[in-house]
Amino acid sequence: MTLTLEHFLTVSILLFAMGLVIALSKRNSIGILMGVELMLNAVNLVLITFARFGESTMSITGHAFVAFIITVAAAEAAVALALVISVYRTRGTIEVDRLKLLRF
């Protein structure tokens, strides 16, 4: 049996959909962040798959893009968790349903 582009892309599509459901439905803001990280991982997998199977002489572009995405994801996670801790200090909760100061 030969592994093709479709195998890897199917896995990453399913991973992305699961990350989307987690990010949209979790009550805890740290849970939402976990969903976002899963979605970023799925996108990285798509880029690496096309770098391996795509017909191009510039396949290393996909790898470089993934390196930058990992960098930005690390920065995003650090800032987001700092925000979570800051919100916890002022409001005493990190559940998104109860953070409704701007909603009336």
Partner 1 sequence: MSGFGITVAFWILAALTLASAGGVMASRNLIHAVLFLIVAFLGVSGFFILLSADFLAMAQIIIYVGAISVLILFAIVLTPRAERDNSETSMVLPALLLGTTLAAVLLFVLYDANWNVTNVEPGLSAEVLGSALLSVWVLPFELASVLLTAALVGALMIVRRQEDEEGDSAS
Q: Which of residues 41-70 bind partner 1 (CB under 8 A)?
A: 41, 44-45, 48-49, 51-55, 59-61, 63-64, 66-68, 70
Q: Which residues between 67 and 86 bind partner 1 (CB under 8 A)?
A: 67-68, 70-79, 81-86
Least separation in angstroms between residue 102's CB and partner 1 is 17
Q: What end-to-end distance do the CA atoms of the chain give, in Å? A: 58
Q: How far is the CB of 40 from partner 1 (least distance, A)?
A: 9
How far is C-alpha 78 from the geometric centre of its chain's CA atoms?
A: 14
Q: How many residues bind partner 1 (CB under 8 A)?
A: 75
CB of 104 to partner 1, least distance (A): 19
Collapsing DSSP to helix, strand or coil, 92 comes out as coil
In the block, which residue shows the tokens 């803001």?
A: 29
Asked if residue 99 binds partner 1 (CB under 8 A), the reply is no
Please say whether the beta carbons of 29 and 94 come within 8 A.
yes
At residue 63, φ and ψ (nearest 5 deg) are -65, -40
